[in-house]
Amino acid sequence: MSNPSAGASSKSKVGSSQPSETSFKRKRGVFQKDLQHMMYGFGDDPNPLPETVALVEDIVVEYVTDMAHKAQDIGSKRGKLSVEDFLYLIRKDLPKLNRCTELLSMQEELKQARKAFEVDEEKLGTLE
């Protein structure tokens, strides 16, 4: 009676009545807490309306999903998915692109810093 495809589309916004499987069921409010602070930071009320937050979360998840699918299409030509695919997708959007390169370089620096920190700690340890 019910459409067999409806059961197959387990990732869509089905109610939480179904038992959770290994796949990620779209649980409500995954990003809710973070999104509230984020929206306040970007100009909303200190307490955004819950329905607004839910809507923004849905939009963001859809955005990330679409981006990931597109990146996968690009990456499949190369073989596997990599960061460059995402960077290629946002190449037209300069603020995002700059921000991403900044994030990546910061992460590199931190990795180096941590490595150097551990090396120095070892040195100090052996001295004492």
Contact partners, residue 56, CB within 8 Å, separation at least 6 = 35, 39
18 binds other proteins (CB under 8 A): no
28 binds other proteins (CB under 8 A): no
122 binds other proteins (CB under 8 A): no
Q: Which of 53, 30, 51, 31 is nearest to 40 (CA)?
A: 53
DSSP, collapsed to helix, strand or coil, labels residue 58 as helix
Tokens of 22: 């290994």
CB 87 within 8 A of CB 75: no
48 binds other proteins (CB under 8 A): yes
23 binds other proteins (CB under 8 A): yes
Of residues 53 through 112, those in contact with other proteins by CB under 8 A are 55-56, 59-61, 63-70, 72, 80-83, 86-87, 89-90, 93, 95-96, 99-100, 102-110, 112
37, 94, 125, 126: which one binds other proteins (CB under 8 A):
37
